[in-house]
Amino acid sequence: MNQTVHNPEPYDFRQYDRIWQRVAPNLEPYPGMCAMSGVSPAAEPGMAGPAVPAQPVTPAVPAQPVTPAMPAQPVIPPQAGLLPGADANPCCMGTAAAEMLDVLTGYIEDAHSDRRAILALVRIAPGWARQRLRDIAAELGEQAKRLMAAHYLITGNCYRPSVAGTAPRPDRWCPALRERYHAAACAGLNYARSADDTNDPCLARLLNDLSAASYRHADALMRLLERGLS
């Protein structure tokens, strides 16, 4: 009679692992047995926490090549001819204005002459008119200075006006006022014409300012004459 031989079932060592996990959870019992069974204790439920995923490895960044510092460049001072304002032909008070040099020198002489004539008129003027005449004489002196400054800007040379003595004293008040009025009004007209003739914008503006000032002088002299005739 044949007898059937039953092979014993393989022993499950995992149950011992579970017991050790309850008794001493920080230990790994039977490390050799776990290796034999092919089961990791951490894989059993309730035995260990979830496995921490491996962190991705960041590839190393290659070092950037260091660019050597450039040596400091020496500071070269600009040449005198290249400095602002030293242009041989500037936009203002340049070649276009130089064409009016003879006219400017004539205006400088006229302004000084008119100033001397007004100061001579003060000596025969009534008391109420003298201060106004002195103011006009001072303004004529300022006009001459502005014209001399323009001459220097154009040429780089100082203009020396001719030296003249005191203007002769006029004999009569009203005829002298009439003469000074016409001189001031004609100066205003001539300045305006010269401003229209020049292509230099700065010189044109200066001449227009002097034209307006001369017309104001003519108006002031006319008011003095109106009072002198009354």
Q: What is the pLDDT of residues 53-79, one digit of tens each?
A: 555 555 555 566 656 666 665 555 545
Q: Is the pLDDT of residue 11 over 90?
A: no
Q: Tokens 């590839």 label which residue? A: 59
CA distance 62 to 66: 12
Q: Which residue has the higher pLDDT, 155 or 81?
A: 155
pLDDT score at 107: 97
Mean pLDDT of all residues belonging to the chain: 79
What is the Cα 15 distance to its own chain's centre? 89
H/E stretch holding 224 reads: helix 201-229
Q: Are 12 and 19 in contact (CB under 8 A)?
A: no
Residue 116's Cβ-count burial label (10 Å; 0-12, 13-18, 19+) is middle
Q: What is the mean pLDDT of residues 135-161?
A: 96
Predicted model pTM: 0.61
What is the mean predicted confidence (pLDDT) over 145-170?
88
Burial 11-23 (b: 16+ CB within 10 A, else e): eeebeebeebbee
| Helix or strand run (H / E) with residue 37 | helix 31-37
